């Protein structure tokens, strides 16, 4: 009997040695900022699209068929907002399981992190989605103020093929700077570095994972938007966390849509792989890790880790995926192609980048009509979309109005309105020396040369186009020869009343801006962030786009016009600069 037990024990050791004395290849796949790109179809233009989750599915099937590797699938947020497909699923298809949850369950996601745009649809939508998915949705720094515990799960562990990974998720803490409080009321968004310091040692000690993965819906540029690495609650703190909080093997990033693949050293000289994707399912970020079991210490050691960016355009859509969700695709296509009225004027969003435009005047005039405000602010909400003359469809409004912003009516003084515009045009227009100078304010390097985007091969704007706010309801000029802060001259209100810097006015403004987004109200008008909610007189019950669609349905025919309440001077500078910079951006 004793000999038998000895032989059995030896056999056990041999089997154990065979199992663990091995090299294991692990592949971790990240999607991020998908923004509703479920199907290989552009619902805004009603034509085929080159990237989608249907193509991601093809790649996943190939990788999972390879028995020599262990595959994990993660999503890094901003999947519940972005196009007619996800809008239809969120707000039109309310009965039964959330259909994107069903799709992600079918694709066998292992974990996900909440993005700022996943908060956009409101608690009813994101709680329904959270309850319907078969994986954990993470955000350790989104704190339920009633319990002081994370509102979403802080981390999760997944075991597959003998490998255990821990995935720790965080969301950018800038959510309150962009979104109406009613969308996140009761949730506090904490600093990412402090949150990671609280959790990482606990996860390492308690879970003892073979790999610790950071899944952060936050970018890598800590200096973005005038911030710096010391800024509390930094919007883009992913790289800072990787450097300052030892323990992570890989950090997947999101939010900035840039795509990343590089390595850094943390403060303990440990190597961290940083990976991120482009938006709209254009790319996948993939970590390829080789682990070797150390039989003496009893754990896996990371022998190698390399990043890989996969171009989704190289994969055909998975036919089983398309067949399974054929009915949903047809429903979305019918919804986005629904006729809502007729348009008599070409509306080009790109015109709004260079001066007065039908696109921005159309939005401002509707905002004034819906709110009864004295003045309205809006930027162009898309970079280069066009709505032609003829039938108007639901999809056309998604082109002009990309985001689910609510419409606020706020109270601002005349001085605050003027300072708001100085801030907008200061970030937007260059101070022109002569007719040969640039109209737009571009980014420049240390030599004073234009900085060109690697992705588009066009010059990068100093500020994002969706922060180029113009006003309707007042008559004013913008002198591009003057320095920032001295460009705006407001002559009067458009109804003939005198404009008084000391008087209070009702202003129509989107909720992103009204919550502090872009800094127009805080940095520009000088209103403390905590005071903004006290300035809100009224708000729509749902997104502004919904009201615009209903307005057009009722009106049946629209003929947007150029209002002409503001102009850029000197006009010869403006005309020459506009032509030059339009060629630079759109040639």
Q: Express each pLDDT in 163-207 by its tens digit.
A: 999 999 999 999 999 999 999 999 999 999 999 999 999 999 999
Residue 205 makes CB contacts below 8 A (sequence gap 6+) with none
pLDDT for position 493: 98
Instruction: For residue 568, give the nearest of 436, 431, 444 by alpha carbon.
Output: 431
Question: Is 10's pLDDT higher than 70?
Answer: no
Assess whether pLDDT exceeds 90 at residue 4. no
Confidence of residue 447 (pLDDT cuts 50, 70, 90): confident
- Specify the pLDDT at position 299: 83
Question: d(Cα 299, Cα 292) in Å, to the nearest integer?
Answer: 8
Q: What is the pLDDT of residue 36?
A: 96
**If pLDDT is split at 50, 70 and 90, which confidence band does 448 have?**
confident
Mean pLDDT of 70-87: 97
Q: What is the CA radius of gyration of the chain?
A: 26
Domains plus CATH for the chain?
Answer: 22-333 (3.60.21.10), 338-586 (3.90.780.10)
Q: What is the mean pLDDT of residues 374-401?
A: 94
pLDDT at res. 297: 72
Listing DSSP states for 274-331 in one string gives: EEEEESTTSEEEEEEEEEEEETTTTEEEEEEEEEEEEEGGGSPPPHHHHHHTHHHHHH
Distance CA 262, CA 285 (A): 11
- What's the predicted TM-score (pTM) here? 0.90
CB atoms within 10 A of CB 542: 13
β-partners of residue 459 are: 452
Q: Reply yes or no on whether the pLDDT at 342 is more than 90.
A: yes
β-strand partners of 214: 168, 251
Position 111 scores a pLDDT of 98
7: confidence class by pLDDT, cuts 50, 70, 90: very low
Q: Is it the case that residue 379 has pLDDT exceeding 50? A: yes
What pLDDT, on a 0 to 100 scale, did the predictor assign at position 224? 76
- Separation CA 437–CA 63 (nearest Å): 52
Instruction: Answer whether residue 482 shows pLDDT above 80.
Output: yes
Q: What are phi and psi of 80, to 5 degrees?
A: -95, 15
Q: Extract long-range pairs of 437-443: CB within 8 Å, 24+ residues apart.
A: 437/573, 437/577, 438/577, 438/580, 438/581, 439/354, 439/480, 439/568, 439/573, 439/574, 439/577, 439/578, 439/580, 439/581, 440/353, 440/354, 440/577, 440/581, 440/585
Burial 500-531 (b: 16+ CB within 10 A, else e): eeeeebbbbbbbbbbbbbbbbbbbbbebeeee
pLDDT band with cut points at 50, 70 and 90 for residue 15? very low
pLDDT at 456: 76
The predicted structure's pLDDT at residue 95: 85
CA distance 469 to 105: 41
Q: How confident is the model at residue 453 (pLDDT cuts 50, 70, 90)?
A: confident
Q: What is the pLDDT of residues 393-429, one digit of tens each?
A: 999 999 989 888 999 999 999 999 999 999 999 999 9
SS3 track for 136-174? EEECCCEEECCCCEECCECEEEEEECCEEEEEEEEECCC
Comparing 504 with 457, which gets the higher pLDDT? 504
pLDDT at 586 over 50: yes
The mean pLDDT of 40-69, rounded to a whole number, is 96
* 137/152 Cα distance (integer angstroms): 6
pLDDT, one tens digit per residue, over 243-285 is 999 999 999 999 999 999 999 999 999 999 999 999 999 999 9
pLDDT at 20: 47
Q: What is the pLDDT of residues 213-222, one digit of tens each?
A: 999 999 998 7
Could you tell me if 420 and 524 are in contact, meaning their C-beta atoms sit under 8 angstroms apart?
A: yes
Measuring CA to CA, which residue among 418, 584, 574 is closest to residue 481? Answer: 574
Structure tokens at 339: 């006729």
Q: Rounded to the nearest 10 degrees, what angle do helices 99-106 and 123-132 cross at?
A: 30
Mean pLDDT within 32-52: 96
More confident residue, 361 or 298: 361
Per-residue pLDDT tens digits for 294-331:
877 778 989 999 999 999 999 999 999 999 999 999 99
Distance CA 71, CA 89 (A): 29
Task: State the chain's mean pLDDT as an integer.
Answer: 93
In this prediction, residue 226 has a pLDDT band, given cuts at 50, 70 and 90, of confident
What value does the mean pLDDT take over residues 99-103?
98
Instruction: Kindly indicate the confidence band of residue 18, based on its pLDDT and cuts at 50, 70 and 90.
Output: very low
> Helices (H) and strands (E) in the chain — how many of each?
17, 30
Spatial separation of the C-alpha atoms in residues 95 and 211, rounded to whole Å: 39
Strands 504-510 and 407-413: antiparallel
The two beta strands, 111-113 and 339-343, are unpaired
Q: What does the pLDDT average to over 121-150?
A: 96
pLDDT at 139 over 80: yes
Residue 343, strand partner residues: 390, 558
């Amino acid at each position: 009997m004793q000999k038998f037990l000895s032989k059995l024990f030896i056999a056990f050791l041999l089997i154990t040695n065979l199992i663990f004395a091995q090299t294991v290849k692990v592949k971790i796949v990240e999607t991020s900022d998908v923004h509703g790109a479920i199907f290989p179809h552009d619902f805004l233009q009603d034509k085929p699209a080159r990237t989608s989750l249907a193509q991601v599915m093809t790649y996943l099937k190939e990788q999972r068929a390879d028995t020599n590797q262990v595959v994990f699938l993660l999503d890094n947020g901003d999947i519940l907002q972005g196009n007619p497909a996800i809008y239809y699923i969120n707000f039109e298809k309310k009965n039964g399981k959330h259909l994107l949850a069903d799709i992600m369950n079918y694709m066998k996601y292992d974990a996900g992190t909440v993005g700022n745009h996943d908060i956009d649809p409101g608690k009813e939508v994101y709680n329904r989605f959270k309850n319907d998915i078969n994986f954990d949705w993470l955000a350790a720094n989104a704190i339920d103020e009633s319990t002081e515990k994370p509102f979403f799960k802080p981390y999760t562990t997944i075991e597959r093929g003998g490998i255990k990974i821990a995935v720790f998720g965080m969301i950018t803490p800038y959510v309150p700077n962009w979104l109406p409080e009613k969308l996140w009321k009761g949730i506090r968004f904490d600093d990412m570095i402090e949150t990671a310091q609280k959790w990482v040692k606990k996860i390492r000690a308690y879970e003892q994972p073979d790999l610790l993965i950071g899944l952060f819906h936050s970018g890598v540029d800590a200096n973005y938007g005038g911030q710096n690495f010391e800024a509390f609650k930094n919007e883009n703190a992913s790289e800072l966390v990787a450097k300052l909080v030892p323990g992570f093997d890989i950090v997947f990033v999101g939010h900035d849509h840039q795509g990343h693949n590089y390595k850094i050293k943390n403060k303990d000289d440990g190597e961290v792989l940083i990976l991120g994707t482009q938006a709209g399912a254009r790319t996948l970020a993939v970590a390829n890790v080789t682990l070797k079991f150390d039989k003496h210490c009893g754990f896996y050691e990371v022998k190698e880790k390399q990043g890989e960016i996969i171009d989704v355009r190289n994969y055909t859509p998975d036919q089983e995926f398309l067949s399974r969700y054929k009915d949903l695709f047809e429903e979305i296509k019918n919804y986005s192609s629904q006729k809502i009225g007729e348009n008599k004027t070409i509306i080009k969003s790109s015109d709004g980048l260079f001066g007065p435009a039908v696109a921005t005047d159309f939005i401002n005039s509707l905002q004034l009509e819906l709110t009864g405000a004295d003045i309205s602010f809006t930027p162009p909400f898309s970079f280069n979309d066009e709505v032609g003359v003829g039938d108007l469809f639901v999809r056309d409004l998604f082109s002009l109005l990309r985001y689910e912003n609510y419409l606020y009516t706020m109270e601002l003084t005349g001085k605050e309105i003027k300072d708001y515009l100085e801030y907008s045009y200061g970030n937007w227009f260059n101070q022109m020396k002569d007719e040969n100078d640039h109209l737009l304010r571009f980014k420049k390097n240390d030599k004073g040369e234009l900085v060109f985007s690697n992705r588009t091969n066009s010059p990068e704007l100093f500020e994002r186009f969706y922060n180029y706010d113009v006003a309707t309801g007042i008559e004013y000029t913008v002198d591009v020869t003057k320095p920032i802060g001295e460009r705006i001259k407001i002559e009067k209100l458009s109804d003939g009343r005198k404009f008084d810097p000391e008087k209070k006015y009702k202003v129509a403004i989107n909720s992103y801006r009204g919550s502090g987004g872009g800094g127009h109200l805080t940095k520009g008008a000088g209103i403390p962030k905590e005071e903004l909610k006290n300035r809100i007189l009224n708000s729509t019950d749902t997104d502004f786009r919904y009201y615009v669609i209903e307005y057009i349905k009722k009106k049946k025919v629209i003929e947007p016009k150029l209002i002409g309440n503001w102009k850029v001077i000197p006009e010869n500078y403006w005309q020459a600069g506009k032509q030059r910079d339009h060629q630079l951006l759109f040639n």
